Copies of this chain bind each other. A is one copy, B any other.
Amino acid sequence: MNATKRAGLVGVTGYTGMELTRLLAGHEGIELVRATSRSEAGKPLSAIYPFLQGTKLAGLTITQPDIADLRENCDIVFLAVPHATAMDMAGQLLDAGARVVDLSADFRLRDPAVYQTWYKHEHSRTDILPQAVYGLVELYREDVRKARLVANPGCYPTSSILALYPALAEGLVETDDIVIDAKSGATGAGRKASLGSLFCEVSDTFRAYNLGKHRHTPEIEQEVSRIVGQDILLSFNTHLLPINRGILSTIYTRLKKPVDLAAVRAAYEKHYAGEAWVRLLPAGALPETRFVRGTMFCDIGLVTDPRTGRLIILSAIDNLCRGASGQALANANLMLGLPENMGLNLAPMVP
């Protein structure tokens, strides 16, 4: 391995930025040399994140984002800024020759018209859109290695695509009767001061939101459609859990023909045999968000229901680590020629 690689992080104040600092504080191959924030520039990182005191990141001073500076000093730049903003900044960084992992949604959708429909914003960098690689390593590992721009997958799509992939690839289930009932911890709502995200508005309650219109819908549809080679429309629906981290997706599909659980499990084992981060649970076991807390694991459980002819697929991930910043780091590892799992061999924190 060569010398330590240098990373920049644009947008350090959100939960995905925070999670990247947590992971980079323990990464031995990548050094965070720039952390930017328009509102917090000038402060040491440990002033906004006291938990970083005593780690190797404690001394880093937050700076204003500066394309030239990032280009010059960083081998890779993580963008943890809102969509639309990311688009322009990624473009400038790529124009300047930098390599970028974009955690926003701006380069995930291959069709800019779909982007505009769902995000209500015209895509300003359709010129570089074709370069973007969708950074789900189980599907696009080799492309990521060569990428200059990685579109880091959304949290819900990571959970849903990994869960559906073998069932669709093996043709086990109907493609016109897929319902995803997804539940996410509150970090998914971001780190903005808003009434609806207050402790007393989220604690001790449970609610659905954005039913039938969540922006992750076209991202999931794009990728599952590619798996089967035909356009799939599915029903994707989201709920807010009173926990910090974790997504559990319960996915309802209809089996094309009756198969037993062993056969379904065999399909999943075949597709994920070499994948260290996808854990197919033993028959009868179901995933829980705590068992993946703080890690890259995606736990998958399978249930066949002969009464109704359905296959129910469950998957659990940590939305911040596997669903955002950890996944971004895995992509960066690959882009930089480091071992994919470097800094990411984390045991789940239970309880």
Report A's interface with B, CB cutoff 8 A: 15, 18, 22-23, 25-26, 49-55, 177, 179, 181, 183, 186-187, 191, 193-195, 197-209, 211-212, 233-235, 237, 239, 241-246, 248, 250, 252, 276-277, 279, 281, 285-294, 297, 299, 301, 303-305, 307-308, 310, 312, 314, 345-351
Contact = CB atoms under 8 A, between A and B. Distances in A.
A9 B308 CA distance: 39
A155 B301 CA distance: 26
B349 A203 contact: no
A314 B210 CA distance: 13
Contacts of A234: 308
A191 B183 contact: no
Nearest to A217: B307
Contacts of A277: 54
A250 B279 contact: no
Given A288-B206, A312-B211, A181 B22 contact: no
B290 A205 contact: yes
Contacts of A301: 208
Contact of A200 (B15, B276, B345): B15
Contacts of A202: 199, 203
A209 B250 CA distance: 11
A242 B242 contact: yes
Contact of A351 (B204, B207, B209, B312): B204
A207 to B, nearest CB: 4
B346 A314 contact: no
A241 B206 contact: yes
A242 B242 CA distance: 7
13 contacts: A15-B351, A25-B347, A50-B281, A53-B279, A177-B177, A181-B252, A191-B200, A203-B351, A205-B288, A211-B305, A235-B308, A237-B312, A293-B349
A212 B305 contact: yes
A350 to B, nearest CB: 5
Given A206-B246, A211-B312, 13 more contacts: A22-B348, A50-B285, A51-B347, A193-B193, A199-B203, A200-B244, A203-B242, A203-B351, A208-B286, A211-B305, A212-B304, A212-B305, A237-B312
A288 B241 CA distance: 11
